[in-house]
Amino acid sequence: MNKASGGSAGRPRSEEAHQAILDATLALLAEVGFSSLTVEGVAARAGVGKATIYRRWPSKVPLVVEAFGGLPAFEEADTGSLVGDLKAMLRAYLELFNETPLATVLPALASERAHDPALAALFNPVLRQRRSPLMNALERARARGEIPPDTDLELAADLIVGPIAVRLFFTGRRIQPKLVDPLVEMALGGIQKR
Amino acid sequence: MNKASGGSAGRPRSEEAHQAILDATLALLAEVGFSSLTVEGVAARAGVGKATIYRRWPSKVPLVVEAFGGLPAFEEADTGSLVGDLKAMLRAYLELFNETPLATVLPALASERAHDPALAALFNPVLRQRRSPLMNALERARARGEIPPDTDLELAADLIVGPIAVRLFFTGRRIQPKLVDPLVEMALGGIQKR
DNA sequence: TGGATATCGAAACGTACAGTATCGTAATCT
DNA sequence: AGATTACGATACTGTACGTTTCGATATCCA
């Protein structure tokens, strides 16, 4: 009844179960991390049989990728200046790191991606998608003449989010929102003396 | 005979076996990656019993951390200018990414670190150590007046290696050495128009 | 020299979990 | 009503972890 009955006969897949599985995955990721996440644990937490999970996802990793896709990303901000856009977006994004499993899931998936081309194929578009508000802000800045027209925007984006990535992956200290202002100013202005 | 006979009685641990285990770990890491690395595989490759491994390392992760510690890091460069130091060090470092398991081990350990305080305690000093040539170069630059005296050197270092980390973890494309010049110039000079 | 001790490689073991298959039941389509 | 498909539960196979035991071996100390 709730299905766009274009499919074949038989009992339709439960959308409820689908969502319960994704929710359980995120909850357990936050609790135990990726490497200790078990499909059996997800099934138990979701109140679902293992077969129901494997009927939808071929293995643990794609499941985590899809669950990850439901986590919040950059929220587009258009303040009229690049510096304003960046500060607003980064500050909001950093707050999400303290409210979601983002900070643990991201490194886990990045690590798997390196040796699993299938995961990379799944994961890469998700990452590009999440990055797009940042790229849009850079493009607006270029259109306004705030940055040189021949700027390598990908590199610029990497420069801006780079310090966050480094701290996320390597130092593990919680990333303070007050880091944002000096970060943006240093990235935009450069390190060197004028 | 080869031991500093300060220890207790009994057969001393074989330094040969120790090194064979570390070598086998690095070799297998390069071949199959971290998540497919098995201790049994390491034991077989090293020609060693599993007990010999577990007698020295409590589990797979600390073993990999120690093996990782044997991989090359930044090589100190002192060219007289910050831009020269950075370009030289980054270029040399990027080449190592294509010759060692660094590119796969680094994300794997970073991912584990997030949910394993014991690993973090082991891993953090190693990371700091590897970073020191970069920090030294920044300190020299500050002493020379190339960068403002109140510069946050940690943040500056993160800004410089950030784009490499982002590409390593997220885009997975091989990192081209020719990236180094624009990267260093953008980090030092800033993105914005002058 | 000889006993005590700790390591060696090898192998067996218990546990945990991935992923598959099968069960009887429930929901939907024709 | 009958066919079809998903459901949760459960049993199963295979793999690998981490532990333990084994007889053999190397070193220390008296």
Q: Given pLDDT bands bounded at 50, 70 and 90, which one contains residue A1?
A: very low
Where exactly does CATH 1.10.10.60 map onto chain B?
15-63
User: Are A115 and A56 spatial neighbours (Cβ–Cβ below 8 Å)?
Assistant: no
Query: What's phi and psi for B116, nearest 5 deg?
Result: -145, 90
Mean pLDDT along residues B157-168: 96
**Hey, is the C-beta of B170 within 8 angstroms of any chain A C-beta?**
yes
Where exactly does CATH 1.10.357.10 map onto chain B?
71-189
pLDDT for the residue numbered A66: 93
Where exactly does CATH 1.10.10.60 map onto chain A?
15-64
Residues 44 to 73 of B: which have CB under 8 A from any A CB?
none
**Hey, is the C-beta of B185 within 8 angstroms of any chain A C-beta?**
no
pLDDT reading at A3 higher than 80: no
pLDDT reading at B77 higher than 90: yes
Q: A46-73 burial by CB neighbour count: b if 16+ within 10 A, else e?
A: bebeeebbeeebeebbbbbbbbbeebeb
User: Are B49 and B43 spatial neighbours (Cβ–Cβ below 8 Å)?
Assistant: yes
Report the distance separating Cα B57 and Cα B21, nearest Å: 11
pLDDT reading at A7 higher than 80: no
Mean pLDDT along residues B177-188: 96
Orientation of helix B102-113 relative to helix B60-69, angle to 10°: 130
Transcribe A90-149 into DSSP letters.
HHHHHHHHTTSTHHHHHHHHHHHHTT-HHHHHHHHHHHHHHHHHHHHHHHHHHHHTSS-T
Closest CB to B186 among A155, A179, A183: A155
pLDDT reading at A85 higher than 80: yes
Q: Mean pLDDT of all residues in chain B?
A: 89
Query: For chains A and B, what is the number of CB pairs under 8 angstroms?
Result: 160
pLDDT reading at A98 higher than 70: yes
Half-sphere exposure of A115 (CA within 13 A, CB side): 21
Chain A CA closest to residue B33:
A115
Mean pLDDT along residues B15-37: 88
Q: Given pLDDT bands bounded at 50, 70 and 90, which one contains residue A194?
A: low
Query: What's phi and psi for B133, nearest 5 deg?
Result: -60, -35
Q: What is the CATH number of domain B15-63?
A: 1.10.10.60
pLDDT digits (tens, 9 = 90+) for B119-159: 888 889 999 999 999 999 999 999 999 999 999 999 999 99
- Chain A contact set for B191 (CB, 8 A): 147, 151, 156, 159, 187-188, 190
By CB atoms closer than 10 A (0-12, 13-18, 19+), residue B153 is: middle
CATH topology of domain A15-64: Arc Repressor Mutant, subunit A (1.10.10)
Asked if the Cβ–Cβ distance from A124 to B188 is below 8 Å, we say no
Report the distance separating Cα B158 and Cα B131, nearest Å: 10
**Hey, is the C-beta of B118 within 8 angstroms of any chain A C-beta?**
no
Q: Mean pLDDT of all residues in chain A?
A: 90
Q: Which of B36, B166, B167, B180 to mutate to test the interface with A (most CBs of A within 10 A)?
A: B166
pLDDT for the residue numbered B8: 66
Q: Which residue has the higher pLDDT, A35 or A178?
A: A178
Superfamily in which the A71-189 domain is placed by CATH: Tetracycline Repressor, domain 2 (1.10.357.10)
Q: From the alpha carbon of B14, which nucleotide's C1' atom is closest?
A: C7
pLDDT digits (tens, 9 = 90+) for A123-151: 899 999 999 999 999 999 999 999 999 99
Q: How many CB atoms lie within 10 A of CB A95?
A: 13
Chain B CA closest to residue A35:
B112
pLDDT for the residue numbered B74: 93
Report the distance separating Cα B58 and Cα B101, nearest Å: 22
